[in-house]
Structure 1
């Protein structure tokens, strides 16, 4: 299913009107209508808010799946922790998240030169309305995201219970866009 179909189905499943969703998102009802018709997409920041507010993973929202092996013909990594959970500490040290599943995915829209191209998502539980996921870190390229995933897998195999992100870039929000912070 496409993003537009998924959004409409999730919204209807939760008995939320387009007007209500627009109010939650801080956009017009027409913007929500365009998203559901497939004639427009929200910016990355709005996708993250949608994911959080609707309590579904970005994979589920964008693809109708809780995990995916392929996005735009690019293979993504998906690790399910076999022994329960691993605690991931964000690169900025401001947040800690217990995960039973970690996946790296390409950002939905063509990233500009100063924007991250991949993100690492952590899932900590399945809930009634879907999985509870959070973006753990942003990556400038696929190689950095894969390197992080490999080190997380290695840490899990060694029985390490806490892992601190090493390859994520620092980001800042500028005009509702996620930008790499080079400062």
Structure 2
């Protein structure tokens, strides 16, 4: 889901219906600040919220996700809603990707909304980021920073210089080139160097996703492709 398209379209749909941000917030049981952040493109809602939002505004997921007719006629390929979960990410649990991951990934899931090329899906292990993230959640990450200062304040999947993978909030470290990794209910990990960072944009909650068998994956791709052709 393109964040800038989504934010502009959400704002227009809300105003067209004579609604204020408080109306949307109450309907979805979120804060007004959350709705404001969606409309500014600062964050995007998790996909169950996107579905409720589309229902509340009386539009389809496609209509809510894409900003203009031209984009809707040439959407992200439908198969891009199917994402391979590449491995585990530690939120309290220590994950060593080189030794504990499966090279070809763990499994495929359908996240129901399009995600960009290159998006990375990881399954959460541990509870140090509760209540933001639970063990068994799947986080979808994309976008690498253009500068190290850009990542401060991000909730992101990271890989440290010693090869460990975590899901943390990133803060500036005391020494140049280092960062502190903050949890919600565990001590921070201080002064680490990062090899890789990717921001969390979408969360699929534990219990809201299913592993797709190869046959199911093909069926969903064919179904989505057929729907796309009909729209054109």
TM-score normalised to the size of structure 1?
A: 0.45
Q: TM-score, with normalisation over the residues of structure 2? A: 0.36
